[in-house]
Amino acid sequence: MSLKIAFVGVGNMASAIIGGLRASGYNGESIVGSSINIDDHEAIEQRFGITMYVDNKDAVAQADVVFLCVKPNMLQSVVEDFASVVRDDQLFVSVAAGIELGALAEWLVKPVAVVRSMPNTPALVGSGMSGLIANDKTTESQKEWVAQAFDSFGSHVWVNEEDQMHTVTALSGSAPAYFFRVLEVMIEAGKAQGLDDATCRKLATYAMKGAAEMVTQLDDDIAQLRRNITSPNGTTQAALETLEAQGIEPLFTAAIEACAKRSKELGEEFANK
């Protein structure tokens, strides 16, 4: 079955999803979008071969699946504006951080299937990771379709409790920024040792990329992969002992806890508006 897909808001994340869908075989005629930024419409249409609308109602009314890709603080007013054209058989997928399923269901008015997602920015280069949770109106076939859609630009995990989405944010949604910061520090440290910026950037980033590839492609325990390159009294051991002495474990644990805590606070702020 070929579903009609609409995107309300077509920014970076929507573009990543559309690009993934198109690469996985969806034709442009199956996808529409809506955005108030009229000046961007022509470029989006030419890039993806889709049709763009100014009025969200025009896009939503013809869709089987609707991706909600607007900023969280705008989502309620946007949804309430097109709620009059919502159908019982539609599936809505939100990428707005912090907006809970209950709020989405209330704004949509009708008892429709809703999936809340937390993708991350590597989706822009086809390496995204997304956390997903569905309401009880969402069928198994709809969940399967959503999973395939998110896998078209990376991978996904499902969680069963909505509170777990805060941990998803901490471990995945915000995590690329942690790794960018680590790379910044490594690059500066390499430059201090006499290498130029471009060489340091390439060495550090490919090491990080390669390590991630090993974890995702090999069945080995992560601790074992670490031990495999840690010779007794060698260079790697010296570096790791320094990281441990400086408190890498409590540091990252505190950072992840702080991220999850702030995610929960933001969710409560949106819920109380």
Confidence of residue 273 (pLDDT cuts 50, 70, 90): low
- Give tens-digit pLDDT for 28-68: 999 999 999 999 999 999 999 999 999 999 999 999 999 99
Provide the pLDDT for residue 258. 97
Mean pLDDT of 110-128: 95
> Are the CB atoms for 76 and 107 separated by under 8 Å?
yes
Provide the pLDDT for residue 172. 96
Is 135 annotated to bind a ligand? Reply is: no
Provide the pLDDT for residue 267. 82
Provide the pLDDT for residue 158. 98
Mean pLDDT of 186-205: 98
- Torsion on CA atoms 271, 81, 71, 157, rounded to nearest 10: 70
Which domains are seen in the chain, by residue range?
5-160 (3.40.50.720), 175-266 (1.10.3730.10)
What is the chain's mean pLDDT, rounded?
95
Give the percent of the chain with pLDDT over 70: 99
Measure the CA–CA gap between 191 and 185, rounded to whole angstroms.
10
Q: Which pair of tokens denotes residue 125?
A: 């280069």
Provide the pLDDT for residue 149. 95
- Residue 193, judged by CB atoms within 10 A of its CB (0-12, 13-18, 19+), counts as exposed
Helix (H) or strand (E) holding 32: strand 31-34
Confidence of residue 225 (pLDDT cuts 50, 70, 90): very high
Closest among 10, 158, 150, 138 to 71, alpha carbons compared: 10
